[in-house]
């Protein structure tokens, strides 16, 4: 069965966006390979606020190479290339998607959708990019609700930016955890062996 993965950036004080839903306070790092990350999924699901914030930043709400499903009770249902807006129950739709063949499903945001799918027992992994910033207020990683125990599967630290990647498996799920494979390796410069000198061109 396909995994539903909550993969998200979060501030040190637990916010995935600012007070108005903005993402401009998050830190970037050139060693993050977003192309490789996107290839791990073929579908993304998100809530209305996340979708509208993406559009407010100049996008159309789509993600390259992914089919996007937006859950909203207020937006009119629409279907276009790469995106579908629906008023259907998120737990039923996502439950059906997980039974289909394909790559993993990216739970793109936000926290309210995460909470509903977590409580429904549909979330397999929680993968956070912990940002070295204190936002102070905003959209929380997860609204209040029931307890969920996690198991650490992998971790990566990016010293240049201070970002810490943490990948957890939800213990109540039988799904295999996710290794972090979308970090570019630093290019190492070849150095001569001890006692040997480079020859000069004659």
CB atoms closer than 10 angstroms to residue 162:
14
Span 15-32, pLDDT tens digits? 998 887 777 777 889 999
Domain count, the chain: 1
Nearest CA among 23, 20, 3 for reference residue 11: 23
Q: What pLDDT shows up at residue 198?
A: 47
**Positions in the chain whose pLDDT score sits under 70:** 186-202
Read off the pTM. 0.87
Q: In this structure, is residue 198 part of a structural domain?
A: no
Residue 183 CA: distances (Å) to CA of 3, 75, 112, 133, 153: 21, 36, 28, 20, 16
User: Is-contact 111 142, C-beta < 8 A?
Assistant: yes
Q: In this structure, is residue 178 part of a structural domain?
A: no
Evaluated on CA atoms 47, 49, 51, 54, the torsion sign reads negative
Half-sphere exposure of 64 (CA within 13 A, CB side): 6
Domain housing 154: 4-170
Q: What pLDDT shows up at residue 192?
A: 53
Q: What pLDDT shows up at residue 57?
A: 80
CATH code assigned at 148 = 3.40.430.10
Q: What pLDDT shows up at residue 202?
A: 41
User: Is-contact 7 107, C-beta < 8 A?
Assistant: yes
Q: How far apart are CA 171 and CA 126, in angstroms?
A: 11
Q: In this structure, is residue 199 part of a structural domain?
A: no
């Amino acid at each position: 069965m396909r995994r539903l993965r909550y993969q998200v950036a979060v501030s040190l004080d637990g916010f995935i966006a600012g007070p108005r839903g903005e993402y401009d306070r998050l830190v970037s790092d050139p060693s993050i390979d977003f192309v490789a990350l996107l290839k791990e999924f073929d579908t993304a699901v998100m809530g209305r606020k996340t979708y509208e914030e993406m559009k407010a930043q100049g996008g159309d709400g789509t993600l390259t190479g992914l089919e996007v499903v937006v859950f909203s009770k207020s937006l009119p249902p629409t279907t276009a290339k790469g995106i579908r807006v629906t008023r259907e129950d998120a737990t039923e739709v996502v439950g059906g998607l997980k039974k289909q063949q394909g790559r993993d499903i990216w739970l793109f945001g936000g926290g309210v959708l995460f909470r509903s799918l977590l409580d429904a027992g549909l979330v397999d992994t929680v993968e956070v990019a912990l940002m070295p910033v204190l936002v102070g207020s905003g959209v929380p990683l997860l609204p209040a609700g029931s307890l969920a125990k996690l198991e650490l599967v992998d971790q990566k630290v990016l010293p240049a930016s201070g970002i810490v990647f943490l990948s957890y498996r939800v213990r109540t799920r039988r799904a295999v955890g996710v290794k972090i494979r979308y970090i570019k390796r630093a290019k190492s410069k070849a150095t001569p062996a001890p006692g040997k000198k480079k020859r000069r061109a004659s």
